[in-house]
């Protein structure tokens, strides 16, 4: 049976909210009547986004700093009294062949993409367990579903996110906490130094999508609470949470894996660089 939960009034922390998928997700949540809590390092970007929402809570946060993570959750509880959801979106890319990857740089990538994601999850669990309710969305990458030549270091960090999500799904189910895994394909954001243009096709069979599209699919992930749910571009469209009739959050304590624009699995080569959201 499908358990649909209205997003209106729900408090959802969004990390990496200053741009791209994070900012689009925050806007979609706000449009659905939720209370997005904005977290990222760039305070000026957060302040501007908060202004769009009439003063939404914005907490400048480096999620690799445990004290700042705890302060973010404490500020959320002080303002709203609960934490209903967490979107683990903060992350950094790392491009280049593996024989040229700096191990120290890879360590920093793992710290942000993997370790901080777990730390953020652990920080919200006490509140969610006390409520017997919670929704966690982990933003991974479509690169984990192919042989990611040229982005192997980044894809390996996101593969760890996939495993964490699968394990958390089972470990937290009894607490009423559902974990979803989002696998975006190439998206037109500042991520990866803004190298991808909306509508372009850097890999045959793949089209660069907008962050708003990913945010819409994310809301569709919340809405369709099934034991196994997969959404692919070109099939039934994602449910938008911007429509007043649509804002629902699926209640099944299962992982929803959404593959977007991943019709081919040819390797993608990119020059060495890293960027963070």
Cα–Cα dist 71/161, whole Å: 23
CA distances from 63 to 33, 39, 59 (A): 26, 8, 11
Half-sphere exposure of 151 (CA within 13 A, CB side): 24
Catalytic site residue from 154, 191, 249, 268:
154
Residue 33's region, left for phi above 0, alpha for psi from -120 to 50, else beta, is left
Strands, E, within 104-201: which ranges?
A: 134-139, 177-183
Cα–Cα dist 46/190, whole Å: 15
Which SS3 state, helix, strand or coil, does residue 252 take? coil
Active site residue 213: no
Catalytic site residues? 154
């Amino acid at each position: 049976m499908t358990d649909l939960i209205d997003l209106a009034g729900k408090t959802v922390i969004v990390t990496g909210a200053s741009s791209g998928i994070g900012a689009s997700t925050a806007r979609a949540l706000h449009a659905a009547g939720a209370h997005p809590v904005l977290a990222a390092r760039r305070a000026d970007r957060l302040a501007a986004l908060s202004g769009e929402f009439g003063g939404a809570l914005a907490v400048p946060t480096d999620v690799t700093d445990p004290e700042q993570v705890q302060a973010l959750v404490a500020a959320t509880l002080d303002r709203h009294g609960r934490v209903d959801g967490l979107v683990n979106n903060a992350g950094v890319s790392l491009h280049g062949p593996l024989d040229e990857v700096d191990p120290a740089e890879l360590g920093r990538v793992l710290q942000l993409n993997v370790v901080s994601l777990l730390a953020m999850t652990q920080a919200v669990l006490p509140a969610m367990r006390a409520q017997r309710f919670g929704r966690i969305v982990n933003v991974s990458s479509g690169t984990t579903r192919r042989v990611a030549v040229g982005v192997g270091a980044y894809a390996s960090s996101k593969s760890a996110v996939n495993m964490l999500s699968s394990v958390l799904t089972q470990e937290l189910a009894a607490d009423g906490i559902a974990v979803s895994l989002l696998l975006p394909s190439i998206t037109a954001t500042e991520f990866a130094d803004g190298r991808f243009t909306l509508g372009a096709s850097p890999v045959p069979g793949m089209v660069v999508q907008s962050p708003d599209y990913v945010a819409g699919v994310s809301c569709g992930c919340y809405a369709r609470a099934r034991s196994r749910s997969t959404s692919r571009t070109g099939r039934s469209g994602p449910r938008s949470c911007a429509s007043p009739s649509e804002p629902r959050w699926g209640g099944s304590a299962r992982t929803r894996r959404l593959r977007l624009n991943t019709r081919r699995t040819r390797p993608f080569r990119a020059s060495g660089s890293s960027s963070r959201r």
